[in-house]
Each structure stands twice: as structure tokens, then as C-alpha cells.
């Protein structure tokens, strides 16, 4: 069993890691041309949409 203090520390570490990753990605986007950024954003958005649809269908089948 995890104590609340341990969970809070773990969540804080995850939050800091996510913010660090976001900063790195935003820094990378600032260095590449706008059309490349738009294409990358579209690819990521499509991937997230496919993932969401697959998850929703899986949940419907499970119930």
C-alpha cells in the first residue's frame, strides 16, 4: 500500500516531468518551420483521435 505522502510525491514528480517534456517540445517547435509544425500537430491530433475512438469502441464491447 502506498501512503498519501508517497502518492503526492509521485504525482508531483510526474507533473514536473510532464512540464519538462512540454517545455522541450515547445522549444523544438519554435525551431522548425510553421508548415512542419502544423503537419506534426495534425499527425498527433489524428493519432489521438484514433486512440479515443478505439478506446470508446473497446469500452462499449466490454459492457
Which string of DSSP letters, residue by residue, matches 29-55? HHHS-HHHHHHHHHHHHHHHHHHHHHH
Q: How high is the pLDDT of residue 49?
A: 92
* Strand, coil or helix: 27: helix
Q: How high is the pLDDT of residue 37?
A: 86
Asked if residue 62 and residue 50 are part of one domain, the reply reads yes
Asked if residue 63 and residue 37 are part of one domain, the reply reads yes
Asked if residue 40 and residue 22 are part of one domain, the reply reads no
Domain range for residue 40? 33-63
Asked if residue 20 and residue 42 are part of one domain, the reply reads no
For residue 31, give Cα distances in angstroms to 2, 25, 34, 37: 42, 10, 9, 9
Q: How high is the pLDDT of residue 22?
A: 84
Query: What is the rounded CA–CA span in Å between residue 4 and residue 11?
Result: 10
Low-confidence residues in the chain, pLDDT < 70: 1-3
Asked if residue 26 and residue 43 are part of one domain, the reply reads no
Total number of domains constituting the chain? 2
Claim: this prediction has a pTM higher than 0.85: no
Asked if residue 44 and residue 18 are part of one domain, the reply reads no
Amino acid at each position: 500500500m502506498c501512503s498519501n505522502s508517497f502518492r503526492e510525491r509521485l504525482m508531483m514528480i510526474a507533473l514536473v516531468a510532464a512540464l519538462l517534456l512540454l517545455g522541450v517540445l515547445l522549444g523544438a517547435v519554435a525551431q522548425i518551420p510553421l508548415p512542419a509544425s502544423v503537419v506534426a500537430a495534425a499527425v498527433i491530433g489524428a493519432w489521438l483521435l484514433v486512440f479515443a475512438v478505439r478506446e470508446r469502441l473497446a469500452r462499449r464491447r466490454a459492457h
